[in-house]
Every structure is written in C-alpha cells, then in structure tokens.
Structure 1
Amino acid sequence: MPVHMIAKFTELTTRQVRESLVVLIQQNLAVYAETQEKTRIMTYYEVNRVEILHRAMIPKVLFSSQEWFEREGAVVAQSILTHGKLTITDCIEDILKSTGTAAGRSATQRTMAIKKVFTKMVKEKCLIAVRPADSLTAADRDMVEEKRETDKLAMPPTAAQKAEIRRTIESKRAGLEGGNQIMGLKRTLDTVDDDDWEMDKRRKLTTSDVQIVDEVEEDVYFKINFERYTIRWRNAKIAEMFESRLNLTAKKIVETILKLAEDRMINCKEEHSSAVNVMMLFNRLPSDVNMVGTLEDARDSPVNSEAGECLDKYMDLLEEDRLEIVRKFQGRSGQYTVLLQKAAKVMRKKLIQDVVTSRFGLPYVRIMNMLLEKGKLEEKMISKFSMMPVKDVREKLTTLCTFGVLNLQEVPKTQERAPSRTFYLWEVVEDRAAMTIVDRLYQTMANLRQRRFVERSKRAVLLAKTERTDVKENAALLNDAETRELDTLNAVLEKLEIQELRVAEMVLVLRDF
C-alpha cells in the first residue's frame, strides 16, 4: 500500500505514517517497492512477515549468543536487535553508553573486547551485512535483476531465455549467500612484534613480523542473521537425536561433522551437508570425547583400543542406524555426510506424534503410524490392522481428520460417484499436517500474549506506580501487599513467556527445519 492509503485506513496523519514506516524499515519489519505510474514514481510498502515471525525467537537468540560468544556476544545481539541494524561503531557506542565498562577494565579494553566478538559473529555469519536492496521486496529485486539481464539482449527474450535468466539470478544469489567471501569483512595486515622498527628505516617487514587479521568495515550496517541461528539450532537437535539413540560420544561425533560442514550451509532447505573426511573429523573432535571406554569390544580387546579404530566403528554404527541419516558421501570411503532433510522429517514426525499423543492418546497415534507405514487404507483395513472395532476406528479417523492430521481421498468406481460405489481412502500428508499444527500453535501463542496483556491490565495502577521516578529510586515506597502482588505478576509473566518460547521452538521444528 502507498502512504496515503495507509493513512486513510489507520486514520493517522501522513507524517505519523512516514515516521512509523522509517522505524519499521529500520527494524527490518517492512520493505518497499517502487514502480512507474504515468509521470511519477509510486512507492508501495509491504510487511516483512518472515522477519516478524522470527522475533518470537529473540529470547533464544540472546541465550544462544551468550552460549556461543559469551557475555559480550549477548550484549552485541541485544543492541542490534534493539535498533534493527547498526554499524560496528554505533554498536560499541550504544553498548558503552547503556552498560558502561566492567569493573577493572578501561573503556579501551571493553571496546577491543566488543570489536573482537563483533568480528567473530560476522565471520560465523550470525551477523549479516545489510545491503540497500534488502529493503526492497523480493519480487521487486527479481524484476530489477531480470530487467537488467533482458536489456542486454538485442531481441525480446523467449520463454526459454527468461527461464535461463531466472536460473542464473538464483544461482548468483545462492553463490553470494554461500560464498567464502563475507560482505562487510576485510583483511588487513597487523604487526605482531613490539620492536620499534620505524626508527630503523632500513629494516624491512618479514612474514614473521606481520599477520593477516579480519576487520569489520565501519560504514557497513549489520543485522541478526536468523537463518544462521536456525541452522545451528537444527544441527544441535540432530546431534541430540543420536545421544538418545546411542550415547554421548555419538552425539559429539555428529555435532563435529555438522560443525565442520556448517560454513557451507546456506539455509535449512538443503538436502545434505557437505562431505567430511574421517581424518579431519578425528583431528577436530573435542579432547574430552571418550571413544574407547564407550565401546564394549574396545574395552574387552586391547587390539581395538585405539581411538582411530573406535571412530571407524562409531561411523559404522551411525551408518547402520535405522534412521539412515549419516551416510557415506556418494559411496566414497572415508567421507561422510548428514542427510539434513531426512533428519528434519524425522523430527517433524516425532513432534506431530507427541502433539497427537498429548491431545488424544496412544490409539490415535497407532492409527496415524499405521497409515504412515502402509500408505492409503480403507476404514475396514485400518480396523483389521489396528485390531479395533470399526465404530471406534471411524470415530478416531473423524477426530484426526477434523484436527488436520489425516486426509480423506475419494476414489469412485463408476462415473456416477455414488457413495456405495466409492472407495474412501485415509492417508497422512506430513507437510499438510505440520502446517495445520503450526496454525494451531500460532493461535496458542496469540492466546498466551493476550493472557499476558490481561494480567498486566489487571494491575495497571500498580505498574503505573512502579514507573514513577521516586518508586524506582526507593522501592520501600511500595507496601507489603503491593510487593507481593508485583512478585505474583512477575511470576505469571515469566511462566507465560517460557510457554510462548516453547511453542515458538515447536513452530521452528515444523516450519523452518
């Protein structure tokens, strides 16, 4: 919608709409598109729904940033999430202004620590550079690129040429996202010795005097890359699956494989990870991994007690697992890959089963698993295989179909489509079931947020009192009843926020993994 239409529907002034749009674009929540209409250029604005849905995972982003990059990483992530996008200079100034310096550390030391963490987050693609084109809609960017390519042709492009141009644009974008070169990061030379070599003009720098260091460009804006966080969360979930199926050592091995292949991962829709060599895997395993003591035959036989042979046995165990997630790369010996989409499908299936179990019970899950294993079945066949009466089966099938997990397909025997001459086949379409559950989970999140709003509105007078300057400076101005009520409110809000985050993690598995 253009600005004047937004102002008309929201009943706000044009100035308020423009100021709000600036904030939304700064927070990456809105994008725009420009188009030529007669003699003037019109600007249309659109909500970036994906970015809005990602904001439900902000608490997990902050927790993961602290886990991966320690306290300074969480502070950097919080500053960027607060402002939408920031340069490294603005981020450091904002952190120093809001938190100051830690005890025993000067401002220079704090600045160097923040800059080091910021650079590490950019190198690991948890922060991504913002380009001017990122504020445009995806369709508008594609049209601009396509027009630039078609203008190079002497004749109007054919359908085959248009398809080729679109494939070229997609491959170029994929190469830009998955390339080794990181936008906003440059390499510079830095001295490593402390000698005052500038006093001796005849001295020349050698390779031992300088080293190549990565440095973030000061004029480039960065934002949180939710896709990279999602990839890491997905990889951690895959590794946890093998801990429950085998042991902690298997989890560490799969975790290391995914960590070695993480740099080449672009998004969560890739079929498999890049291949990892066994020798590289052996050298990169954590030092606390106990491979010898966790294999039965390695404990019994001294011949097989070497860590390298134990790793080969573990790789054989992972490859022979019933889930078939860890496989040899194209049959090559010594190179292994993880089937990411297959692992995501297993996680989605387990989550759907858990939802159905908690909502309806184990007999419903038994029917669903039967349909997943055997495919489309009639009601009588389901009753026969599940050893349940037809009446109970019919009721359970109707319940699951209403919930959105099952799908009913009609196959008529004749052209009349009479019910008596029609096969009614039941099936489970996992993708459709996952999206149905995602819709219900979003409704649950909306209910939790509404409950949080109601809890705060009930105590609006008390919250207004706590916002007063004198109460902030002296908490003793609140009496005992008000203090207890405030503690009760904080406990309720904390429980609601934790539940909302758990629901958001379930959505992450069903929608993004």
Structure 2
Amino acid sequence: MAIEQFVTAVLPQHSRSVYDRFLDAEEKELEKYTIVSSAQEIRTIKSAAQATVNAIFKNIEHIGMKRKAVDDLQSEAKRSTELAFDVDPEVFFTLNYEKYNLYFRNHASFLLKMVADFATSRINRTAGIVMKTFFRSGKEKMKAVKEDTSPAATVTHIANMLEPDVFTRGDIVLPTNPMDKKEKPSVNEVVQGYVDLLRTDPSGFIKRRDELGSNQFSVNFARLRQAMKKELLEGLVTDKFGVACCRIVRILNDKGKLDESQIQKYAMLPPKDVRQKLDTLLLSGLVEIQEVPRSTDRAPGRSFHLWYVPLEKCFQELLVDVYRTTANLQQRKTEELLRRKRLIDKLSREDVIANIELLGEIDKAELAKMEKVIERIEVSKGRLDEMSMILRDF
C-alpha cells in the first residue's frame, strides 16, 4: 500500500496546505527577478513554482520506506518478483484519500460508468468504450482527481487496448470507400473516427495535445466535468420547474448575460411566460440580475437589467440540497426500522434465523413491505451519491 501510495508517510510539511507550499515556492522564484515587468514572466514564475511543488511531491513518495540491499548477482526475474522496499517501522503513515478517490474514479466507480454512459448518450456505445479505454491507459500516471487533462495517448495505443470484437457489436462504422461497401476500415481508422467525434462534441470529451507530439490525445477533464454538472443541473431544473425553465437556463448558459427581450427571442416564448419563468428561477436562486447603468446617477429606469446563471453558486447549492436529501433519507430509514423494532427483534432470534417459516403471514407481509421500503431508500441514496460525486469529486 505504501508503494502504491494508498498510505503516505506523515511529514512536518503535511501540516501546511499545498497552496501555502506553492506560495513559498513562488516567493523563492520571485527572488530571482529584480523587476517583474510582463505577464509572461508572471506565468513563468508560477509554472516554475508549480514544478517545484510537484518535484517535492515526487521526491517524498517513498519516504518512510527502506530500500532493500539486492545482490548484484541476483537474476533479473527473481529481482522483479520481490519488493524493492521495506516499510520503516519508525515512520507513521496515514491514508491517502486523494489516491483512493482517484482509484475509485478510474477503476471501479460509478463516476467512470457515468462518464462512459454520458459518451454513449451523446454518440453511441462504442464511444463510451473508447472513453473507458482512455481512463485505463492513464490510470497509473494520474496524481490527483482535479487534474485538467489525463496522460496523453496515441490512437494506436488506444486501438491496441481495445478488444478485437468491439467494432462488431452493431454500432455504425462507415466503409473507407463509399463505392465499395465491402471494404472495411482498419481498427486505427475507426478509433481515429471516434476520437474525432469525441473531440468535436460540445461536451469536449477528448483534447488534442499537439505540444506533446503528433497524434496525442487525452481526456479533457476541465470541460467534461463542467458539461456533466450542467447536464445534471438542467435535468433537475426540468424535473422541478418544467421544460420551459430548462430551456431558459440552457440559453443563458450558452449565450451569457441577456436581457428579457433577448431571452424571449431565443426561447420563442411569449413575454408573460418568460417573465413568470424568470421570476420563478430568480426566487430559487438559479438566475441572477446584473444591473448595467446608462448614466452615472445609476437610475433604475435608465439601466439595463441582464439575466445570467451563476453556475458555481448553483452547483454549490445543488450539492447542499443533495446532502440535505441524503440526511432526510437516512432519517426516514431509521424511522422505518424503529417502527418495526418488534419484527427486527424476532428476525434476530436463532430459531427464526434457522427457519424463516416460523414467521406468521402478517410478519412475512410486513417483512416484504419493510424490504421494499428500505430498497427504495437505498436506491435513492445511491443516485444522490452519484450526484455528489459529479458535483464534488470529479
């Protein structure tokens, strides 16, 4: 676990936040300059400071472990089967929650499934499989959940990781030559086509990394997490306020700040309905108004009033609502179990555990009802957990 970084050594510098360490590194970089006169120099200083912090992080990966003394005459095969380190018994270790979150996202989490399902809903099933393959190709090189991009990979590398029968499952694969429909494209050409679809999709699944070389691509986490949050927000607005309100929210997200007449034009709704929907969204905190005065006296009658969606505020409020609903569901589960305390005590008896048929018909009906209620509560909690993962951990 220590080698895989699921537990890390407790060091004195861990008492300080990563941002404080970044500020110290930035201050040391500033000492190298007499005068900082351009934005390019500021960016260079920040990049150098971040590189210093990352280098320190890599250097402390194996602190708390002792390297084994390996005989030079030992065979390479035997050497590879043994661990190169022993845990130092004098060093304290703590759980690396960032590593666990990264593992759950890239290996066996609902979040990975949701990303693949999102790509499937936008394009098709094979596109979701390609997205999963991008996650698998870079899972060992990622250090944090909040990275903007995944490690880069080539189309050939992704094609080699895919199963041979992926493109024979019924998804659309156009022939290379339209005049000869029997001529099928190669696997690399098909993967390249799906990568282009994922890259040009408005959700921005894939990003080209030309700075790392030709034909290098990676998952664009920065745009993807924003797109998934927006889709979640729009879905909840549709369920709570209707399709018309969702249309207005989507228009404001796409166009930015608009006045009421512009919203009427884009939404193709009558003025009365638009005004009513905007008032409802304003009371719910989903939209806000930006006042733009025409004159210096800032008179309300001579000012523009622009409507916009404060996305980050909406996401935070939505996460709070998810937490509140989860707590309510847990309280409801506790209440349902307290109501059936007599039945639960009866189910804990050894004779009933050995033979469930000892229960009467009334108790069996009540047990089936309790299991059905608890199952609904747990399913709802699972869906809320998926929402919180998108809003917080992605």
TM range (shorter): 0.7 to 0.9
Letter in 2 for 1:296: L
Asked if the contact 2:101/2:393 (under 8 Å) is kept, the reply is no
For the residues of structure 1 that align with 2:174 and 2:60, how far apart are their CA atoms? 42
Q: Say if 1:324 and 1:498 are closer, same or farther in 2 by CA, change over 3 A.
A: closer
Letter in 2 for 1:285: L
Stretches of structure 1 that go unaligned for 5 or more consecutive residues are 1-118, 150-159, 191-203
Counterpart in the other structure of 1:486: 367
Counterpart in the other structure of 1:283: 160
Letter in 2 for 1:238: V
For the residues of structure 2 that align with 1:138 and 1:498, how far apart are their CA atoms? 39
Letter in 2 for 1:317: L
For 1:337, what is the secondary structure of its paired residue?
A: strand
For the residues of structure 2 that align with 1:474 and 1:138, how far apart are their CA atoms? 58
Deviation at 1:169, TM superposition (A): 8.8
Counterpart in the other structure of 1:241: 118
Counterpart in the other structure of 1:308: 188
Aligned residue among 316, 322, 325 for 2:205 = 325
Asked if the contact 2:9/2:94 (under 8 Å) is kept, the reply is no
Asked if the contact 2:175/2:183 (under 8 Å) is kept, the reply is no
More deviation, 342-351/307-316: 307-316
For the residues of structure 1 that align with 2:388 and 2:164, how far apart are their CA atoms? 35
Deviation at 1:444, TM superposition (A): 1.2
More deviation, 474-483/360-369: 474-483
Asked if the contact 2:10/2:94 (under 8 Å) is kept, the reply is no
Is 1:404 aligned with 2:285? yes
Aligned residue among 101, 115, 137 for 1:260 = 137
Counterpart in the other structure of 1:341: 222
Q: Say if 1:182 and 1:205 are closer, same or farther in 2 by CA, change over 3 A.
A: closer
Counterpart in the other structure of 1:297: 175
TM (normalized to structure 1)? 0.60
For the residues of structure 1 that align with 2:121 and 2:60, how far apart are their CA atoms? 35
Aligned residue among 430, 434, 457 for 2:338 = 457
For 1:376, what is the secondary structure of its paired residue?
A: coil
For the residues of structure 2 that align with 1:178 and 1:238, how far apart are their CA atoms? 29
Is 1:212 aligned with 2:86? no
CA deviation vs aligned residue, 1:460-479 (integer Å, no higher than 9, x gap)? 23323434556545545543
Is 1:388 aligned with 2:269? yes
Deviation at 1:447, TM superposition (A): 1.4
Aligned residue among 350, 358, 366 for 2:239 = 358
For the residues of structure 1 that align with 2:203 and 2:46, how far apart are their CA atoms? 36
Deviation at 1:361, TM superposition (A): 0.9
Q: Say if 1:389 and 1:205 are closer, same or farther in 2 by CA, change over 3 A.
A: closer
Aligned residue among 229, 244, 256 for 1:375 = 256
Counterpart in the other structure of 1:413: 294
For the residues of structure 2 that align with 1:292 and 1:480, how far apart are their CA atoms? 49
For the residues of structure 2 that align with 1:510 and 1:226, how far apart are their CA atoms? 17
For the residues of structure 1 that align with 2:393 and 2:247, how far apart are their CA atoms? 27
For 2:389, what is the secondary structure of its paired residue?
A: helix
Deviation at 1:347, TM superposition (A): 0.7
Letter in 2 for 1:259: R
Q: Say if 1:351 and 1:250 are closer, same or farther in 2 by CA, change over 3 A.
A: same
For the residues of structure 1 that align with 2:165 and 2:3, how far apart are their CA atoms? 26
Aligned residue among 129, 143, 147 for 1:270 = 147
What is the identity percentage for the equivalent residue pairs of Structure 1 and Structure 2? 29
Taking only aligned residues, the RMSD between alpha carbons, in angstroms, comes to: 4.0
Deviation at 1:262, TM superposition (A): 2.0
Asked if the contact 2:199/2:205 (under 8 Å) is kept, the reply is yes
Is 1:426 aligned with 2:304? no
For the residues of structure 2 that align with 1:313 and 1:434, how far apart are their CA atoms? 34
Number of positions where the alignment pairs a residue of Structure 1 with one of Structure 2: 364
For the residues of structure 1 that align with 2:370 and 2:15, how far apart are their CA atoms? 41
> Within 5 Å, which residues of 2 pair with 1:160-179?
174-175=54-55
CA deviation vs aligned residue, 1:446-499 (integer Å, no higher than 9, x gap)? 211111121112122332343455654554554332233233222211210110
Deviation at 1:183, TM superposition (A): 6.9
Counterpart in the other structure of 1:250: 127
Q: Say if 1:247 and 1:393 are closer, same or farther in 2 by CA, change over 3 A.
A: closer
Q: Say if 1:412 and 1:257 are closer, same or farther in 2 by CA, change over 3 A.
A: same
Asked if the contact 1:188/1:212 (under 8 Å) is kept, the reply is no
Deviation at 1:437, TM superposition (A): 1.4
Counterpart in the other structure of 1:83: none
For 1:296, what is the secondary structure of its paired residue?
A: coil
For the residues of structure 2 that align with 1:182 and 1:490, how far apart are their CA atoms? 48
Q: Say if 1:304 and 1:366 are closer, same or farther in 2 by CA, change over 3 A.
A: same
Letter in 2 for 1:367: I
For the residues of structure 2 that align with 1:389 and 1:239, how far apart are their CA atoms? 39
For the residues of structure 1 that align with 2:352 and 2:344, how far apart are their CA atoms? 11
Asked if the contact 1:228/1:267 (under 8 Å) is kept, the reply is yes
Letter in 1 for 2:372: A
For 1:424, what is the secondary structure of its paired residue?
A: strand
Q: Say if 1:334 and 1:383 are closer, same or farther in 2 by CA, change over 3 A.
A: closer
CA deviation vs aligned residue, 1:340-377 (integer Å, no higher than 9, x gap)? 11011111111111101111111111111221222111
For the residues of structure 1 that align with 2:129 and 2:260, how far apart are their CA atoms? 45
Asked if the contact 2:229/2:391 (under 8 Å) is kept, the reply is yes
